[in-house]
Structure 1
């Protein structure tokens, strides 16, 4: 969601996530401004996204460092796709 500052984006996001969760929908809130982009490598950027999703979805047993290392030959984009396929879609009913 893109818009000017002080236009209610954060409160809309919070209300939407609260409503979805109340309806039993698993969802994660990702604020891309918190991850950074200027001094962040692609590996750090995607690992940051994965970490946020894992935490928001309460995937407590998920070990990002171990999982990332196990898939070390993959590109960061492929890491993210694998995470969604192998972890999120299997853990979230």
Structure 2
């Protein structure tokens, strides 16, 4: 292995990259998520949060556990609540590979009698958990 492909600047390290260092957080996050616990990872920039996500998602998927990663920056910050929840639902569908199976626009409009927060709950209950 050369130095060219050994080191990686910026972004997350792919699964089993030789420079990835397994930390206590890896074990704690994996076990917590497997147990259905609410887990969060807080740290400053460039400290391995994204690489941790990549590794944990790979391990969970190997155990048959469905995972999705949602990039909240894609939704934006100057949006209405309806736009924010709509963007979040769209990202969830994309993250779980359901964009082609579920027509987001049709589904979202069919739920317009509900407040945006409840639409998200309906999506989780009726689409993601079925």
TM bin, normalised by shorter chain, reads 0.7 to 0.9
Mind listing any 5+ residue stretches in structure 2 that lack a counterpart?
1-40
Report the Cα offset of residue 26 of structure 1: 0.5
Report which structure shows greater RCO (CA 8 Å, sep ≥6): 1
State which structure, 1 or 2, has the greater radius of gyration over its C-alpha atoms.
2
Q: How many residues align?
A: 89
| Structure 1 or 2: more helix by fraction | 1
Tell me if the contact between 2:71 and 2:91 (Cα under 8 Å) persists in the aligned partners. no
1:24 aligned residue = 64
Which contiguous aligned blocks of 4+ residues in structure 1 show a shift greater than 4 angstroms? none
TM-score (norm 2): 0.63
Tell me if the contact between 2:68 and 2:96 (Cα under 8 Å) persists in the aligned partners. yes
2:109 aligned residue = 69
RMSD after superposition? 1.3
